[in-house]
Amino acid sequence: MPETLAPVRRHDAPAGGMRTVLADRIFLAFVGLTILQALLNTQTNTIVPLAMHGDGLGPGDYGLVTALGGALIVIGQLFVPGFIDGRRKDRVLALSLVVMAAGFAVLTVADSLPAYLTAAVIWTTGGMLAAPPNAAIKLGAGAAAAARTRRTHRTDAHNDLRMRTTEFDERKILRVRNGVTPANKSAGGGGRPPSP
């Protein structure tokens, strides 16, 4: 018997690979800003202690600079989300990197503990500005991917159900064609209707 239903088509998956990734300029800008932020953040553990040691400051002074940054984060995170709420996240992220870079630029002229503390205040402010939009952008990307996944699974489940229903209907048609009906099967007729 020829097929009477239209064939079930699986949804076409979008083209993948590096070409797709490299064509997404917004994503590439986000990746670039995130890499820049990571490079700037590594300075607090690498360049700052070396620069402070070169200026004759000790480990206790470095600890004070680090503790100031931690205290600012604890206090500042209470106010930063409200301050940046309603602003474009990509612009806030870009601005935060400029502020962080300015804080590290202060290190080029810093030669005393107050100058290093000032630099720490500036770069920590930049880091606090970067945290909420960075998380929101990542969460937004994750939510979009999850939505695509749910949509794909829903479509696949629907197509699978259609295929199973079609298979069931075909078996039912074959049984009826072979004389197996619910009435004569339950009557113990062996599956074949009686001959006339």
Res 182: pLDDT: 55
Q: Where are the alpha helices (DSSP H) in the chain?
A: 18-23, 25-42, 47-54, 59-76, 80-84, 89-106, 113-177, 182-186
Domain boundaries, the chain: 24-133
Res 110: pLDDT: 93
pLDDT in tens, 162-175: 555 455 555 555 56
Helix (H) or strand (E) holding 78: none
pLDDT in tens, 84-108: 888 888 788 888 889 988 998 998 9
Q: Which residues of the chain have pLDDT under 50?
A: 143, 148-152, 161, 165
Res 32: pLDDT: 85
Helix (H) or strand (E) holding 195: none
Res 19: pLDDT: 82
Res 185: pLDDT: 55
Question: Distances from the Cα of 179 to the Cαs of 107, 185, 190, in angstroms?
Answer: 91, 9, 9
8 Å CB contact between 100 and 126: yes
